[in-house]
Amino acid sequence: MESIMPDMQPMNQTVQETPQFRVLTEDQIEQIYFAALDVLERIGSRVHQDEALELFRNSNEAVVSEDKRVRVPASLVERALKTYPRKITLQGRNGKRSVALQKDHVYFGTGSDLPFTYDRKTGERRRTTYKDVTDAARIVDALPNFDFFMSHGIVSDVPNPQTYDRHQFMAMLEGCTKPMVVTSVDGEGLEDLWKMACLFQGGEEEFRLSPMFVAYIEPISPLTNDHSAVEKLLFAAEKGIPAMYTPCPSSGATAPATIAGMLVQSLAETLLAAVMCYLKNPGMPLIMGGVTTVMDMRTTTYSYGAPELSLASAANTDISKWLNLLMFSTGGCSDSKWLDEQAAIESTLSLLTAFLSGANLVHDVGYIDSGVNASLESLVMNDEIIGMVRQVGKGIRTDDEGLALKVINEVGPGGEFVTHDHTYAHWRDWFFPKLMDRSDWETWNSEGSKTMSDRVNEETQRLLDTYEPQPIDDATRKGLQEIIDAAEKRHSK
């Protein structure tokens, strides 16, 4: 064989093993960035929280107007941007450091707080319950392609809406051992969730080294920061809790109708948060976010299935890498009311785009009904899609083993590869479908002519019937309950 394949080192080669994907050039990123700096210098952003206003005033650089508008010079923004970590490693309640956020590491997870759920027994659309969240948690814990968990649904069957977040976190912990992204009512809520997590981790310092969750916080576009969001952000900064401050602008409604304009505005919103956190506690783990999409001009829906969502999110990820910030992005979601062809199409497009863009945390996987309805089946279907997407991301090896010239020679014209050692060594590199059907017609027909939807339903039921997560030990459970009870007591007054 050596005579066929001379031993040589190729020169002037660009060899890559994974697909390369970019939406913006570096010049475009700079245009957007400088425009965002200009927004903060000229227009500013309104902040409805006194401590934050005080921090800005005391900086002696930011200018705070009577109407709570904060304007920030570029020099302060650029100083703040230099302080953020480029790596955050999250661990689950099982102690596994399973999510290493760093450049081009992509992890997938659910979204949070969906108010409605289709009841699997009655088919009726009803409010989401504690059990629904625990079920979603179990399914995410079981599915191999989900790396982190957000609550999927919002618990409605709790004593007090002001303390729902503690119960919801408990429901999440019951079912899932993976790292999480959490929502909370306010600063006090976030503090309780953080205390709950510290029980698993053995204290604040351990949490800071390898946090169990990231706090999800959002401003209100355009350029508005409400009291509770800022309170949460400042608490996260103080304690070193990773947080994303994720603008959710809808192009044409709460942001310009051009994607570039929306990116400028949402970047300005992010940069303001970056300065605020810097003034509170330089170097706290801030993650860039942005659910950047369009408002549908027929229905006014904030679209989760729009191709613009994928395009703008990928562009935002380009910007985040240029800024050396970690990125919280979006994919695997749909506007469809039911888990159908539309849901599959929209989910696939946004998952693939988010993955290729190299965003770090891709959330909202499994959302249907534009972020209103929860669907366990959608989680199961999306797990398969993520598996396929990750396979595309593996790229192609072109070393000697990959080129397989020796094997082609050994088999020769008219031979077969199926029993060759090379095949035996490599067939496991492929994606193996769990839900995609590749059987012949007769087999498919004789096994009940099942559609994708049938198979997704069966797998969902199988997981619900059989999967048990690692339990929470009694001592920790007791500590968790005490925090929840104390919150109830405070709020029952």
Q: What b/e string do you get for 417-454 counting C-beta neighbours within 10 Å, with b at 16 or more?
A: eeeeeeeeeeeeeeeeeebeeeeeeeeeeeeeeeebee
For the CA atoms of 271, 99, 176, 161, what is the dihedral angle to 10 degrees?
-10
What is the closest distance, in whole angstroms, from the C-beta atom of residue 441 to another protein in the complex? Answer: 7
Nearer to another protein among residue 40 and residue 404 (C-beta): 404
Range 388-447, binding another protein (CB under 8 A): 414, 416, 418-419, 423-424, 427, 432, 439-443
Nearer to another protein among residue 34 and residue 427 (C-beta): 427
What is the closest distance, in whole angstroms, from the C-beta atom of residue 192 to another protein in the complex? Answer: 45
DSSP character for 429? G
User: For the chain, how far is it from start to end, CA to CA, in angstroms?
Assistant: 84
Nearer to another protein among residue 401 and residue 485 (C-beta): 401
Q: Any idea which residue has 């027994």 for tokens?
A: 121
Burial environment of residue 82 by CB neighbours within 10 A (0 to 12, 13 to 18, 19 or more): exposed
Find out whether 209 and 225 touch, Cβ atoms under 8 Å.
no
Nearer to another protein among residue 443 and residue 451 (C-beta): 443
What is the closest distance, in whole angstroms, from the C-beta atom of residue 262 to another protein in the complex? Answer: 45
Instruction: Please tell me the distance from the alpha carbon of residue 335 to that of residue 306, in angstroms, as a whole number.
Output: 8
332 sits in which H/E element = none
Nearer to another protein among residue 66 and residue 416 (C-beta): 416
Find out whether 52 and 276 touch, Cβ atoms under 8 Å.
yes
- Number of chain positions touching another protein (CB under 8 A): 13
Instruction: Please tell me the distance from the alpha carbon of residue 127 to that of residue 117, in angstroms, as a whole number.
Output: 6
Instruction: Please tell me the distance from the alpha carbon of residue 181 to that of residue 363, in angstroms, as a whole number.
Output: 9
Nearer to another protein among residue 16 and residue 439 (C-beta): 439
Range 73-92, binding another protein (CB under 8 A): none
Instruction: Please tell me the distance from the alpha carbon of residue 247 to that of residue 292, in angstroms, as a whole number.
Output: 7
What is the closest distance, in whole angstroms, from the C-beta atom of residue 465 to another protein in the complex? Answer: 18
Instruction: Please tell me the distance from the alpha carbon of residue 137 to that of residue 133, in angstroms, as a whole number.
Output: 6
124 touching another protein, by CB under 8 A: no
Nearer to another protein among residue 440 and residue 474 (C-beta): 440
What is the closest distance, in whole angstroms, from the C-beta atom of residue 414 to another protein in the complex? Answer: 6
- Residue 286 pairs with which residues in a beta bridge? 243
Nearer to another protein among residue 260 and residue 411 (C-beta): 411
Q: Any idea which residue has 């002519």 for tokens?
A: 449
3-state secondary structure of 289: coil
Instruction: Please tell me the distance from the alpha carbon of residue 241 to that of residue 207, in angstroms, as a whole number.
Output: 8
Find out whether 149 and 178 touch, Cβ atoms under 8 Å.
yes
Range 359-378, binding another protein (CB under 8 A): none
- Residue 344 pairs with which residues in a beta bridge? none
For the CA atoms of 277, 88, 170, 387, what is the dihedral angle to 10 degrees?
130
Alpha helix segments (H runs only) across 93-245: 130-142, 164-175, 187-201, 204-209, 227-239
- State the binding string over 129-168 for another protein (x if CB under 8 A, else -): ----------------------------------------
What is the closest distance, in whole angstroms, from the C-beta atom of residue 446 to another protein in the complex? Answer: 9
Nearer to another protein among residue 416 and residue 465 (C-beta): 416
What is the closest distance, in whole angstroms, from the C-beta atom of residue 419 to another protein in the complex? Answer: 5
Nearer to another protein among residue 7 and residue 416 (C-beta): 416
What is the closest distance, in whole angstroms, from the C-beta atom of residue 442 to another protein in the complex? Answer: 4
Nearer to another protein among residue 18 and residue 443 (C-beta): 443
What are the residues binding another protein (CB under 8 A)? 414, 416, 418-419, 423-424, 427, 432, 439-443
